[in-house]
Every structure is written in structure tokens, then in C-alpha cells.
């Protein structure tokens, strides 16, 4: 069993390093997209399902609550954190609308939708992206595998951070590290300097 743990750690490191080489320039570009959104006094709406939903909440919490330094909160809302609204919308309008309706209600032109999905195949994320497009919002997608239906909806103004792995656990771990990288770059751009 111990050797299995070591093997899993090795696979994790390999997946992370492979993704880092592919994603580094895109993560830098995505951080600039977020900074531009915030400097224009717009906000981020984030969403995901399951583990990806937890990552969306984590990203939102670090933007609003702070990352590694004391600074003002940044405007971000994790749409999947309101279970009552999600349940009500799913019951009344179907699960596919669970994020699209809040995007239509809260999203403004210039806001940024951040979707997180290990495979990009969630119908409620696809509908949220369509709603964001209707509201003239940008889209940042953290995906994995082949990007699924979500990747197909992106245009040249959007950014996709696609982890080159089909293994959900590997995609989730790289998404978490990507979020940490984004928070670091955003804080450094808005508030100066890099901290070690």
C-alpha cells in the first residue's frame, strides 16, 4: 500500500509538471483578463459542479477574503454556493438552468464568468456560458480532457485553461494549483510585487 501512495504522488507530480509547461502562458494571460475585469469595476461570477464547485468556491473566497497578503476584497460570487437557489431553479426550470438564471440576473456587460469542469460536459455550465454571451460577459474556462461542449462555445476573446489529462483527480489538483497561481498573479498586478 505504501508503494501505491508513492506511485500516486509520482503520477501527481508528473501531471502537474506537464500541465505547468502547457498552461503557464495561458495562466498569465488569464490573470490579465481578471485584472482587466476588476480594474473596470466589474465582477467575477464563478461556477462548477461537485469538486469543481468546491474549487469555484475556493477561488471566490480567496478573491473576496484575501490570498497571501492583506488587501481589499475583490468582487467575486460563487454561484454554486447558494444551494437553495440552485434547488429552486432546478425544480422550476430544470437543472440545466441552475447557473444560467443567476448569470442572467446578476451578470453585467464586462463581467467575467469563470466555469470550472474536469471534462467540460456539464449542461448547466454550457447554459451559463450561453447566458454570459447574451449578457456580453467574458468567459474563463478551467477544463480538462478534450474540453467538451464548454470548449466548443469559447471564442477568441475567451480563455481556456485545459489540463492535458483525462484523469479527474489530476485535473482537479492542477485546477487548484492554477487557482493559486491566478490569485498570486492577480494580487501582484493589483497591489504590487511578488511575494515568496
194, 68 contact by CB (below 8 A): no
Distances in Å between the alpha carbon of 79 and those of 1, 54, 60, 100?
A: 39, 11, 10, 10
118, 144 contact by CB (below 8 A): yes
The DSSP bridge partners found for residue 116 are 48, 142
Looking at residue 193, what is its pLDDT? 72
Digit-coded pLDDT (tens) for 60-91: 999 999 999 999 999 999 999 988 999 899 89
pTM given for the model: 0.95
Q: Cβ atoms within 10 A of the Cβ of 12, count? A: 15
Q: Cα–Cα distance between 112 and 131 in angstroms, integer? A: 12
Cβ-proximal residues to 79 (8 Å cutoff; 6+ apart), any chain: 45, 46, 47, 56, 86, 99, 102, 103, 128
DSSP helix/strand/coil, 70: coil
Burial class of residue 182 (count of CB atoms within 10 Å of its CB; 0-12, 13-18, 19+): buried
- The region of weakest confidence among 81-85, 111-115, 152-156, 172-176 is 81-85
Domain ranges of the chain: 24-187
Domain formed by 24-187, architecture:
3-Layer(aba) Sandwich (3.40)
Digit-coded pLDDT (tens) for 21-60: 999 999 999 999 999 999 999 999 999 999 999 999 999 9
Would you place residue 189 in the very low, low, confident or very high pLDDT band (cuts 50, 70, 90)? very high
Amino acid at each position: 500500500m505504501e508503494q501505491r501512495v508513492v506511485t500516486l504522488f509520482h503520477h501527481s507530480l508528473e501531471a502537474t509538471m506537464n500541465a505547468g509547461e502547457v498552461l503557464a502562458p495561458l495562466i498569465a494571460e488569464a490573470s490579465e483578463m481578471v485584472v482587466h475585469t476588476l480594474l473596470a469595476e466589474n465582477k467575477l461570477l464563478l461556477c462548477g459542479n461537485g469538486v469543481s464547485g468546491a474549487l469555484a468556491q475556493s477561488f471566490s473566497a480567496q478573491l473576496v477574503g484575501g490570498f497571501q497578503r492583506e488587501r481589499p476584497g475583490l468582487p467575486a460570487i460563487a454561484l454554486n454556493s447558494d444551494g437553495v437557489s440552485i434547488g429552486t431553479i432546478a425544480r422550476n426550470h430544470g437543472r440545466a438552468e441552475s447557473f444560467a438564471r443567476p448569470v442572467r440576473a446578476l451578470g453585467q456587460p464586462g463581467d467575467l464568468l469563470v466555469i470550472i469542469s474536469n471534462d467540460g460536459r456539464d449542461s448547466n455550465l454550457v447554459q451559463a456560458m450561453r447566458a454570459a454571451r447574451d449578457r456580453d460577459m467574458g468567459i474563463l474556462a478551467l477544463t480538462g480532457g478534450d474540453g467538451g461542449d464548454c470548449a466548443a462555445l469559447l471564442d477568441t476573446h475567451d480563455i481556456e485553461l485545459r489540463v492535458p489529462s483525462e484523469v479527474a483527480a489530476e485535473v482537479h489538483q492542477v485546477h487548484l494549483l492554477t487557482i493559486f497561481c491566478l490569485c498570486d498573479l492577480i494580487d501582484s498586478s493589483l497591489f504590487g510585487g511578488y511575494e515568496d
